[in-house]
Amino acid sequence: MSFNALPGSLQSRIDVLVAEDNPVNQLVMGQILDMSGLTYQIVADGALAVDAFREMRPRLVVMDISMPRLNGFQATAAIRSMIDLGGDTVPIIGVTAHVQDQDRQACLRCGMSDHIAKPISPDMLLARIAQWLPRDIRAEA
């Protein structure tokens, strides 16, 4: 399942790429991002996230940790290796149901910029996006 905030013909660079395999969480993320006015794409696994990053060059990535094909750690490593596409600098926010400090540290060690524990509140997600997304992009939304 893939959600899209832009008509297909208008797609190019997007503000936020979300990698989340759970359909309910995909819906929730979409509803939250709809409130933000940001453009976004939601994909269902880590491999699709890597492909979408290459194609759409998002300004920020929200990455679930536990996904099929490539997990969030593997997908983050693949994105970070795309230096020519800005993969080494794009903010990546890890999202996981694991809430221990060691889980947060694992996200940061693998190259993620930040970590949010599930369940996610709209205020929490939007605050973290605002923290990491460049100001000029937020002003346009």
Question: In which element (H, E) is residue 60 found?
Answer: strand 60-64
Question: How much is the average pLDDT of 78-96?
Answer: 94
Hey, where are the domains in the chain?
13-131
pLDDT tens profile 107-139: 999 999 999 998 999 999 999 999 998 765 555
Question: How much is the average pLDDT of 39-63?
Answer: 97
pLDDT tens profile 65-83: 999 999 999 999 999 999 9
The sign of the torsion formed by the CA atoms of 107, 127, 21, 56 equals negative
> Residue 9 pLDDT > 50, yes or no?
no
User: How far apart, in whole angstroms, are the C-alpha atoms of residue 61 and residue 59?
Assistant: 7
Give the distance, in angstroms, between the CA of residue 128 and the centroid of all CA atoms in the same chain. 11
Q: How confident is the model at residue 5 (pLDDT cuts 50, 70, 90)?
A: very low
Topology classification of domain 13-131? Rossmann fold (3.40.50)
User: How far apart, in whole angstroms, are the C-alpha atoms of residue 22 and residue 67?
Assistant: 9
The answer to whether the peptide bond before residue 23 is cis (omega within 30 degrees of 0) is no
Predicted local distance difference test score (pLDDT) of residue 125: 95
pLDDT tens profile 28-48: 999 999 999 899 999 999 999
User: How far apart, in whole angstroms, are the C-alpha atoms of residue 52 and residue 124?
Assistant: 24
Residue 26: name the closest of 14, 17, 38 by CA.
17
User: How far apart, in whole angstroms, are the C-alpha atoms of residue 13 and residue 19?
Assistant: 16
